[in-house]
Amino acid sequence: MIKRGEQAPDFELFATPDQKISLSELADRNVVLVFYPADWSPVCSDELTIFNQAHKLFDKYDATVLGISVDSRWCHMSFAKDRNYHFPLLADFHPKGAVSKLFDVYDEVEGESKRAIILIDKNKKINWTYLSPTAINPGVDGILEALEKLTNEKS
C-alpha cells in the first residue's frame, strides 16, 4: 500500500458514462479514496452507505469522497442510482485496476481492488491509509479522526 508522506499519483477515471474526474482537479480539497472490491456486494454496499450518510461530515473538512472499484462506469451508474449515493464512484475498469495498482491496493488473485481508505491532503500528499480485511466494513470513524487530526495540524 502507498505510504504516508508520499506524493499521490495523479489519475483520471470515469465518474459517469461521459465524464471523467482527475485527482489534479481537486487541488483545493482533501480527498478520501475509498477503494472497494465490487458494486452490489453486501459489505461494499454497507460501507458506501455509511460514507454516503456521513457526507456532510466530510464537507466540514473540505474533503471529497471518491469510491473506486474495477466495475464499469455503467455498473457504477446503476449502483449509485439504486443506492442514492451522493459522491462519485470511479471506474478503474480499463486498463483493469490501473489506479488501484498505482496506490498498491489491487488484489491480483481476485482481480479487484482491496478494501482500503486513503486520505490525500490538499498538497496531494498521502496523509493516512487503512487496509481493511475484505469481509470487514471499516466504517468512517478512522478517516474522520484522520481528517480532524489533519485539520488541527494545519491550524
What residues are annotated to the active site?
A: 44
d(CA 7, CA 24): 12
Which residue, 85, 36, 21, is CA-closest to 58?
85
Q: Is 33 exposed, middle or buried (0-12, 13-18, 19+ CB in 10 A)?
A: buried
Q: Return the exposure string of 131-141: e unless at least 16 CB atoms fall within 10 Å of the residue's CB, then b.
A: ebebeebbebe
Name which of 17, 39, 30, 47 is nearest 128 in CA terms: 30
